[in-house]
Amino acid sequence: MSERPFRILGIQQIAIGAPDKRRLRALWVDALGLAVTGSYRSERENVDEDIAVIGNGPLGCEVDLMQPLDPARRPAVHEPPLNHVGLWVDDLAAAIEWLSARGVRFAPGGIRKGAAGHDICFIHPRGNDASPVSGEGVLIELVQAPPEVIAALSDKRAG
């Protein structure tokens, strides 16, 4: 196997869904004290989300609190409740090329801008005959890390 041309640097986010995000906010924002730093709404992705953050600066981690715009439509961002995990990657394009060549299945849509403005793509939760390697039931978001995150998470003293 050739040398991996990218590094997974850390956790960028966890995304949690519920039929009503107000109940999620009661725990994550009101009780645990996370700060809401933004919101995102997409008809195409059937999501209305609040973006909360643990930590500060480039080492902060998002906790996305999501509810579906229409619970009867797909994608169902509230099923399963732990919707996906986002991972910082230092070279998204290289990661996709290398992983695809090794049978990793990606969700449709390719590289695109995510809710926080970073380039993203998703590893599919289920494999198929053509691409059998998957998240084995877990949707995994690969997120292109900006330079300040790469620097912070590459610094051995930071972690």
What is 27-65 written as a DSSP string? Answer: IIIIIT-PEEEEEEEETTTTEEEEEEEESSGGG-EEEEE
pTM: 0.89
Low-confidence ranges of the chain (pLDDT < 70): 1-2, 156-159
Q: Please state, in angstroms and as integers, the Cα–Cα distance from residue 112 to each residue in 21, 33, 53, 61, 108, following that order.
A: 25, 31, 22, 20, 11
> Domain spans of the chain?
8-158
CATH architecture under which domain 8-158 falls: Roll (3.10)
Other CB atoms within 10 A of residue 23 CB: 12
- 45 with 15: CB under 8 angstroms? no
Using one digit for the tens of pLDDT, what is the confidence trace for 112-149?
999 889 999 999 999 999 999 999 999 999 999 999 99
Q: What span, in angstroms and rounded, lies between the C-alpha atoms of 107 and 140? A: 10
Q: What is the pLDDT of residue 154?
A: 85
